[in-house]
Structure 1
Amino acid sequence: MFVEGIIKNYNTERGFGFIELIGEKKDIFFHITDVPHRHIELKSGERLKFLIVEDKGKFKATNIVRLDLKPLDSVDTPVANKAFKNSVSQGHSRSDPKKATIITLTGLIIVVILAGLVFQKYQSYQQSQRIKAAQLIEEQKKIVIAQRQALGDLPEIKLSEKTEQVLDVPSTPHHKMQAEQPVKAQAQFSCDGRKHCSQMHSREEAIFFLKNCPNTKMDGDNDGEPCEQQFRH
């Protein structure tokens, strides 16, 4: 059985509202999907005719008829508008082929420019990598040259008087080996950037670094004896 009512309120964003029954203090829920001619805005106070059905334990209005609409308003204008828009767009596409060609060419130009920028960036990256590799090779060459100079320019070792007296004794192969041992030991060391006692492996190595390598930090009391606590006899 159809009943009549008026729209009490309607939430446009959420698509639902309530209908006040005429002659009763009772509101009925309705959803926009049950309203015909939804393209025409719903307004508070608009008269409706509808059926009341139960849906999931609640009552709602369905088969809604909008009583305040004029006959011309009930025409399904969205369909007509869509057909009109389609015809207009087809007319534009037929009558303006030059515009479509210009748009296509513009798109191709943009793609070419972007591709060129990407390639240029890649080339710059490759060049920077080559420069870095060349700089690294030059630095390694300088390090090797510095190490060779350090090994080739070892200071002359001055022997103490006691050592000279020992060396004056007729030497045997054993004495000769002991005399040459410190020179050989120092010849195997090189200034490689180490500065601290914790990096030294022997007292001889620490003495070599203190005497021959710059910026060492192994003689806190400046008495000429490096790493005294580490290599204490």
Structure 2
Amino acid sequence: MFLEGKVKSYITDRGFGFIQVDGESKDLFFHIHDFPNKNFVPKIGERLKFLIVEDNGKLKADQIVRLDLKQSNFDDQANIATHFHIQQNASPRFNKNGRKGHIFSILGLIVIAVLAVKVYGKYQDYRQARQQKTEQLMQQQAKIVTQQRQALGDLPDHIISEQGKRNLEDHIYLTNKPRSEKVSASIDQQNAVQHQQASQFKCDGRTHCSQMRSYDEAVFFLRNCPNTEMDGDNDGEPCERQFGR
């Protein structure tokens, strides 16, 4: 016969408590395992319906029904238990296929990441090579400008820059020509430089190194003007100490 009562005490750590039975002076022992839903902890004063049974010579509550819990709580718990049961009993084949798909997805992401790193590395190498080539061309142009400044003396910077640019273009052109054409072009370029120097310098009576403004001017005077005194050791190189030769 079912009786009713309410929870009088409950020890959470040990999972048991006592029920105050309606119309009885003695409390009845209960254990959490005898509750239909163990996810909801018994509350003090909660109404229960139960049977009294004997267990190892002692009386306790059994087949406990929790009267204060709403039916919706039971329905929610039943749905959760059903969903958990379906997951636990799912087809092993389905679970195996799911794991395989997950592994393939991870492998695909790894492959994509590796390819992206390689492509980025090649792009960085290309940019670095292009930057080095540009720097080399700039260094060549600066060198040519310096040489032109020494050869032409104190001329405006924009004139020297234009001359250096033309010389750089000539250098690139000569680099890509056949050897025979390179030799011919080099000779033409030397003749052009000599002609330019001839038009730049002229014999005006100067004979000493201290009167020279550049090494190229001293060479011109030594080779083309009389009575110069700029090559004491007669080696064809004038004003060596002055111009650091």
Larger radius of gyration: 2
Compare the two structures and name the one with the higher helix fraction: 2
Range class of TM-score, shorter chain = 0.3 to 0.5
Could you state the TM-score of these two structures normalised by the residue count of structure 2?
0.35
